[in-house]
Amino acid sequence: MPGKLKVKIVAGRHLPVMDRASDLTDAFVEVKFGNTTFKTDVYLKSLNPQWNSEWFKFEVDDEDLQDEPLQITVLDHDTYSANDAIGKVYIDIDPLLYSEAATVISGWFPIYDTIHGIRGEINVVVKVDLFNDLNRFRQSSCGVKFFCTTSIPKCYRAVIIHGFVEELVVNEDPEYQWIDRIRTPRASNEARQRLISLMSGELQRKIGLKVLEMRGNAVVGYLQCFDLEGESGLVVRAIGTACTLDKLSSPAAFLPACNSPSKEMKESPLVHPPSHGCRSTHNSPIHTATGSRLTQNFSVSVPTLIYTGMGSGSAGKEGGPFKALLRQQTQSALEQREFPFFTLTAFPPGFLVHVGGVVSARSVKLLDRIHNPDEPETRDAWWAEIRQEIKSHAKALGCHAVVGYSESTSICEEVCILSASGTAAVLNPRFLQDGTVEGCLEQRLEENLPTRCGFCHIPYDELNMPFPAHLTYCYNCRKQKVPDVLFTTIDLPTDATVIGKGCLIQARLCRLKKKAQAEANATAISNLLPFMEYEVHTQLMNKLKLKGMNALFGLRIQITVGENMLMGLASATGVYLAALPTPGGIQIAGKTPNDGSYEQHISHMQKKINDTIAKNKELYEISPPEISEEIIGSPIPEPRQRSRLLRSQSESSDEVTELDLSHGKKDAFVLEIDDTDAMEDVHSLLTDVPPPSGFYSCNTEIMPGINNWTSEIQMFTSVRVIRLSSLNLTNQALNKNFNDLCENLLKSLYFKLRSMIPCCLCHVNFTVSLPEDELIQVTVTAVAITFDKNQALQTTKTHVEKSLQRASTDNEELLQFPLELCSDSLSSHPLPPAKEHLESASSNSGIPAAQRATSVDYSSFADRCSSWIELIKLKAQTIRRGSIKTTVTVEKASPVGDGNFRNRSAPPCANSTVGVVKMTPLSFIPGAKITKYLGIINMFFIRETTSLREEGGVSGFLHAFIAEVFAMVRAHVAALGGNAVVSYIMKQCVFMENPNKNQAQCLINVSGDAVVFVRESDLEVVSTQQPTANCQSSCTEGEVTT
Amino acid sequence: MTSELDIFVGNTTLIDEDVYRLWLDGYSVTDAVALRVRSGILEQTGATAAVLQSDTMDHYRTFHMLERLLHAPPKLLHQLIFQIPPSRQALLIERYYAFDEAFVREVLGKKLSKGTKKDLDDISTKTGITLKSCRRQFDNFKRVFKVVEEMRGSLVDNIQQHFLLSDRLARDYAAIVFFANNRFETGKKKLQYLSFGDFAFCAELMIQNWTLGAVGEAPTVPDSQMDDMDMDLDKEFLQDLKELKVLVADKDLLDLHKSLVCTALRGKLGVFSEMEANFKNLSRGLVNVAAKLTHNKDVRDLFVDLVEKFVEPCRSDHWPLSDVRFFLNQYSASVHSLDGFRHQTLWDRYMGTLRGCLLRLYHD
Instruction: Locate the domains of chain B by residue range.
Output: 17-81, 101-208, 235-361
pLDDT confidence of residue A827: 38
**Chain B residues inside the 8 Å CB shell of A909:** 85-86
Which SS3 state, helix, strand or coil, does residue B196 take? helix
pLDDT confidence of residue A642: 30
Which SS3 state, helix, strand or coil, does residue A554 take? strand
For residues A643 and B161, what is the distance between their CA atoms, to the nearest angstrom?
83
pLDDT tens string B112-137: 876 566 788 889 999 999 999 999 99
- pLDDT at residue B204 above 70? yes
pLDDT tens string B46-58: 888 899 999 999 9
For residues A888 and A623, what is the distance between their CA atoms, to the nearest angstrom?
9
How high does pLDDT run on average in chain B? Answer: 87
pLDDT confidence of residue A1012: 92
Q: Which of A917, A959, A983 is nearest to B85 (CA)?
A: A917
Pairing, β A218-228 against β A145-146: parallel
- pLDDT at residue B9 above 90? yes
**Chain A residues inside the 8 Å CB shell of B62:** 959
**Chain A residues inside the 8 Å CB shell of B50:** 744
Rounded to 10 degrees, what is the CA torsion of A882, A703, A697, A579?
0
- pLDDT at residue A262 above 50? no
CA distance B66 to chain A (A): 11
pLDDT category of residue A1021 using cuts at 50, 70 and 90: low
- pLDDT at residue A1023 above 80? no
Stated pTM of the model? 0.81
Decide if A490 contacts A588 (C-beta within 8 A): no
pLDDT confidence of residue B67: 95
Which SS3 state, helix, strand or coil, does residue A622 take? coil
Distances from the Cα of A812 to the Cα of A445, A450, A808, A823, A981, angstroms: 22, 16, 7, 13, 48
**Chain B residues inside the 8 Å CB shell of A724:** 1
Pairing, β A918-919 against β A84-91: unpaired
pLDDT category of residue A870 using cuts at 50, 70 and 90: very low
Q: Do B86 and A952 touch (CB under 8 A)?
A: no
Burial of A844 (0-12, 13-18, 19+ CB in 10 A): middle
CA A464 to chain centre: 32
pLDDT confidence of residue A914: 73
Q: Do A952 and B64 touch (CB under 8 A)?
A: yes
**Chain B residues inside the 8 Å CB shell of A121:** 80
- pLDDT at residue B331 above 50? yes
Q: Do B11 and A918 touch (CB under 8 A)?
A: yes
For residues A151 and A404, what is the distance between their CA atoms, to the nearest angstrom?
10
Which amino acid, A518? A
For residues A317 and A323, what is the distance between their CA atoms, to the nearest angstrom?
11
What ipTM, to 2 d.p.?
0.88
pLDDT tens string A217-244: 899 999 999 888 887 788 899 999 998 8
pLDDT confidence of residue A684: 67
Share above pLDDT 70 across residues of chain A, in percent, rounded to a whole number: 64
| Range scoring the smallest mean pLDDT among A545-554, A794-803, B39-48 | A794-803
Decide if A9 contacts A122 (C-beta within 8 A): yes
pLDDT category of residue A433 using cuts at 50, 70 and 90: low
Strand order in the sheet with A104-113: A36-39, A27-33, A70-76, A84-91, A104-113, A117-130, A2-13, A56-61
How high does pLDDT run on average in chain A? Answer: 72
pLDDT tens string A555-593: 999 999 988 889 999 999 999 888 888 887 777 776 665
DSSP structural state of residue A216: -
Rounded to 10 degrees, what is the CA torsion of A128, A130, A131, A137?
150
pLDDT tens string B213-267: 766 554 444 444 445 567 788 888 888 888 888 888 888 888 888 899 988 888 8
Distances from the Cα of A495 to the Cα of A221, A459, A677, A913, B321, angstroms: 21, 18, 42, 43, 79
Share above pLDDT 70 across residues of chain B, in percent, rounded to a whole number: 94
Strand order in the sheet with A890-891: A486-487, A551-561, A565-577, A497-512, A890-891
Q: How many residues does chain B have?
A: 364
The residue-averaged pLDDT of A936-964 equals 92
| Range scoring the smallest mean pLDDT among A32-41, A270-279, A390-399, A470-479 | A270-279
CA distance A728 to chain B (A): 13
Maximum separation of any 2 CA atoms in chain B, in Å: 92
- pLDDT at residue A1003 above 70? yes
pLDDT confidence of residue A351: 82
- pLDDT at residue A137 above 90? no
Which SS3 state, helix, strand or coil, does residue A959 take? helix
Distances from the Cα of B26 to the Cα of A407, A1031, A1034, B37, angstroms: 49, 43, 40, 17
CA distance A43 to chain B (A): 21
DSSP structural state of residue A284: P
CA distance A955 to chain B (A): 5
Q: Do A719 and B7 touch (CB under 8 A)?
A: yes
Give the H/E segment covering residue A826: helix A818-828
For residues A966 and B82, what is the distance between their CA atoms, to the nearest angstrom?
9
The residue-averaged pLDDT of A736-741 equals 88
Chain B interface, best mutation among A748, A774, A985, by max B CB count within 10 A: A748
The residue-averaged pLDDT of A27-55 equals 92
pLDDT confidence of residue B52: 93
Beta-bridge mates of residue A307: A358
Please indicate whether residue A194 or residue A850 has the higher confidence score (pLDDT): A194
Q: Percent helix, strand and coil across chain A, each rounded to 5?
A: 35, 30, 35
Q: Do A692 and B3 touch (CB under 8 A)?
A: no
Q: Do B62 and A911 touch (CB under 8 A)?
A: no
The residue-averaged pLDDT of B273-302 equals 88
CA A70 to chain centre: 31
pLDDT confidence of residue A436: 37
CA distance B8 to chain A (A): 4
Interface of B with A (CB under 8 A): 1-14, 45-48, 50-52, 54-55, 57-58, 61-62, 64-65, 75, 77-83, 85-86
Task: Describe the crossing of helices A818-828 and A832-844 by its angle, rounded to 10 degrees.
Answer: 130
Q: Which of B115, B173, B172 is nearest to B147 (CA)?
A: B173
For residues A404 and A384, what is the distance between their CA atoms, to the nearest angstrom?
18
CA A989 to chain centre: 17
Which SS3 state, helix, strand or coil, does residue A546 take? helix
CA distance A278 to chain B (A): 37
For residues A1020 and B55, what is the distance between their CA atoms, to the nearest angstrom?
40
Q: Which of A57, A18, A13 is nearest to A38 (CA)?
A: A57
State the CB neighbour count (10 A cutoff) for residue B348.
16
Classify residue A704 as left (phi > 0), alpha (psi -120 to 50) or beta: beta
CA nearest to B6 within chain A: A720
- pLDDT at residue A314 above 80? no
The residue-averaged pLDDT of B347-362 equals 90
Q: Which of A1005, A986, A941, A1009 is nearest to A102 (CA)?
A: A1009
pLDDT category of residue A1040 using cuts at 50, 70 and 90: very low
| Range scoring the smallest mean pLDDT among A336-350, B14-28, B222-236 | B222-236
Share above pLDDT 90 across residues of chain A, in percent, rounded to a whole number: 23
Q: Do B4 and A721 touch (CB under 8 A)?
A: yes
> Within 13 Å, how many C-alpha atoms sit on residue A448's CB side?
19
